[in-house]
Structure 1
């Protein structure tokens, strides 16, 4: 047997011992405080970034490129993974979590600028991101280096996903949609693992966000304040 699996199962015993008494309040259902939409990336510690150790607090979704959209016969809609806690458990906070150096954003950038060949499943996911990033790629300044371009587009993608939530008829007005970027590459502040707020309900101007949400002022940061 793969030794990694053996090791993981041994570590699960530690988890089970630690959490044994923490599931009592969620035996009959869940009412998570927030739904988070993270990127499927092994470097993104989806509950760990919030220091969360309480079962039932966060409804965590993950996919390539932290997308909130899925394609159906009726067209593109908010993904059921994201919508479920909003529609059925009363969750009123949705957090889209992008991250620095995102591989999905990088792949989409490469597809839009140079063409890219991927297996069909990955191609499908990139195909859902590409329409959201096309305008962002075109708006990048001339001469920008690749790393900076990617991290600007990470923000741009987060903005577009928040916009999709805000504009969806399936998401009630009572839901607050927040966009953040998880930084583990010293891009924003030099504190690895810190989360930076870049968008709240479609507002993305740093000064406006800091005025509107003074309690978040020191956590609001952006790399790119573009016109659109």
Structure 2
């Protein structure tokens, strides 16, 4: 194969390993439809393994839209509407839980922070659009008193990541009931592969449950064995 197609060869080889490693009847229960338990909207960062982080063993469990900065909205003629990739499983496959998943060291949040503090949008236009949607969130966060603006930039960014996760979940909770059903469970996590929240890299730390952000309250919603997964850089 031409050396210019090394990546293509890697993709083909990887898919071959995938096919040969699948158990018999792997897709048996989802051949004609899907009923995922949860839709997880994550940042489209190559370091955030959307299904693997939950230890899923088969297909059809997690619906996985993603975008720059794990944003639950899109822009429609200047109006923010709930993203269709998130709404599809809720309205058409019976999904009754959402997980918004940010991650430590997020480049989108960093870019929005830079723009909010006098820098330029990163470009090109398709990237800048999503970063620009985050700028008001960052600006509000910096005025909220929850961000330690005297800390080093990496700490500020990680606090902003958590703030953004909480903000995105609140946007969903504020949507009309015919768009986002009132009985939908909405969780917020920060996926930590840098040891910011604790020593376990790859842990998804729970930062909000159905609008609640106080760790002392949230911890009552999880089994005792998962108490350590409830952490916050803000509260």
What is the TM-score normalised by the length of structure 2?
Answer: 0.91
User: Distance between the aligned counterparts of 1:38 and 1:107, measured in 2?
Assistant: 17
- Aligned pair 1:83/2:87, yes or no? yes
Q: 1:21-56, CA deviations, whole angstroms, 9 ceiling, x for partnerless residues? A: 211111111100000001011111111111223110
Who is 2:234 aligned against? 224
Q: Select 2:21's aligned residue among 15, 18, 22.
A: 18
Who is 1:113 aligned against? 117
- Aligned pair 1:103/2:113, yes or no? no
Q: Structure 1: 5+ residue runs without aligned partners?
A: none
After the TM superposition, which parts of structure 1 deviate over 3 Å for at least 4 consecutive aligned residues?
212-216
Q: How does 1:1-228 map to 2 (within 5 A)?
A: 1-19=4-22, 21-73=25-77, 75-117=79-121, 118-138=123-143, 139=145, 140-169=147-176, 170-215=179-224, 216-225=226-235
Alignment length (residue pairs): 225
User: Distance between the aligned counterparts of 2:167 and 2:55, measured in 1?
Assistant: 27
- Alignment check: 8 A CA contact 1:209 1:217 kept: no
Q: Secondary structure at the match of 1:97?
A: strand
Q: 1:71-114, CA deviations, whole angstroms, 9 ceiling, x for partnerless residues? A: 11372111000000001111011000000000000000000002
Q: Structure 2: 5+ residue runs without aligned partners?
A: none
